[in-house]
Amino acid sequence: MAEPLVLLPGLMSDARVFWPQIAALSSTLSVTVAPVTLGERVEEIASGLLDQLPKRFALAGLGLGGIIALEVMRRAPDRVMRIALIDTNPIAETPQVAAARELLIVKAKSGRMADVMNHEIQPGFLAPGPNRNAIIDIAMDMAETLGPEVYVRQARALQRGRDQQAVLRTCKVPALVMCGDVEKLNRIKRHSFMAELIPNATLSVIAGAGLLPTLEQPQASTVALRSWMKIPSALR
C-alpha cells in the first residue's frame, strides 16, 4: 500500500486549494492536509509539522507549502518517501521582494486584507477561462477565513526563507515538479531549473493553468499526482 499523502497548502490557502485531488485520491490513499499557518519561520513550521506527521509519508506542497516541504525534507530526509513541488520557488526572496512584502504586511495589520490579496492573486496570475473568477473568489474566501494574523506570519516566513537548492540536489526519492504554462512569473523556466537539479525528477507543465493548477486544471493535476504516487519509492 502506498504511503500516506500529506498536502501542504500555499500562502493564505487551506484544504480547499486541494479539494479536487482530495476527492479523487482519498478513495485509495490516506490523504491529509497539514496546516502551514503556525510559525513565522519556515524552519519553525516544518519542525511543528514533523512532530505531527506519520513516520514516513509522501509530501506535496503548493507555493509556500512547497518551500516548507523542502525544509521538511532537509530536516528529515529519511521520513519523506516522495516529494511533489507545485508552483513554488527554492530560492530565498531577494531584499527587494522582501521589502515589498513589508508593505503588504503593513496593509494586513491595518485591516486592508482585500488590497493584500488583490496583489497576491492578480487575475493575470491565473490562466484565462470561464472559471478564473470563481477560483479568485475561492482564494479570497480562504484568505478571509485565515485572517490577517496568518498572513503576517506566512509573509514573515517567506521573507526569512533560506535557499533550498542544495535540498533539490540531494533528493533521492521520486520527485514531481509541477507548474502551469501561464508565463506571468516565468514559471516554466523556474520549474525546469528545479527539475534539472533533482535526480530523476518528473516535470509536469499543466496546460491552461497558472498560480493554482490544482484548481484551474484539477483533472490534469490529479493525473500527475497519481502517476507520481505510483513510482516505486526504492530509489534511495
The pLDDT tens digits for 90-132 are 999 888 988 999 999 999 999 999 999 999 998 889 999 899 9
CATH label, 5-94+155-230, candidates 3.40.50.1820, 3.10.450.50, 3.40.50.300, 3.40.640.10: 3.40.50.1820
Q: What is the mean pLDDT of the chain?
A: 93
Over range 170-176, report the average pLDDT. 96
Over range 149-157, report the average pLDDT. 97
Tell me: pLDDT of 151 over 80: yes
pLDDT-derived band at 236, boundaries 50, 70, 90: very low
Which residue type, as a one-letter code, is found at position 38? L
pLDDT value of residue 200: 86
pLDDT digits (tens, 9 = 90+) for 186-209: 689 999 999 999 998 999 999 999
pLDDT value of residue 93: 87
pLDDT value of residue 187: 80
Whether the Cβ atoms of residue 197 and residue 165 lie closer than 8 Å to each other: yes
pLDDT value of residue 40: 95
pLDDT digits (tens, 9 = 90+) for 59-70: 999 999 999 999
Which residue in 203, 194, 200, 204 sits closest to 167, CA to CA?
Answer: 194
pLDDT value of residue 124: 86
Domain spans in the chain, listed from the N-terminal domain onward: 5-94+155-230
Tell me: pLDDT of 233 over 90: no
Tell me: pLDDT of 235 over 60: no
Element (H or E) spanning 186, and its range?
Answer: none
Query: Which grid cell sits at 205?
Result: 507543465
pLDDT-derived band at 229, boundaries 50, 70, 90: very high
Over range 38-60, report the average pLDDT. 96
pLDDT value of residue 1: 62
How are strands ordered across the β-sheet holding 175-180?
31-33, 5-8, 57-62, 80-86, 175-180, 202-206
pLDDT value of residue 71: 97
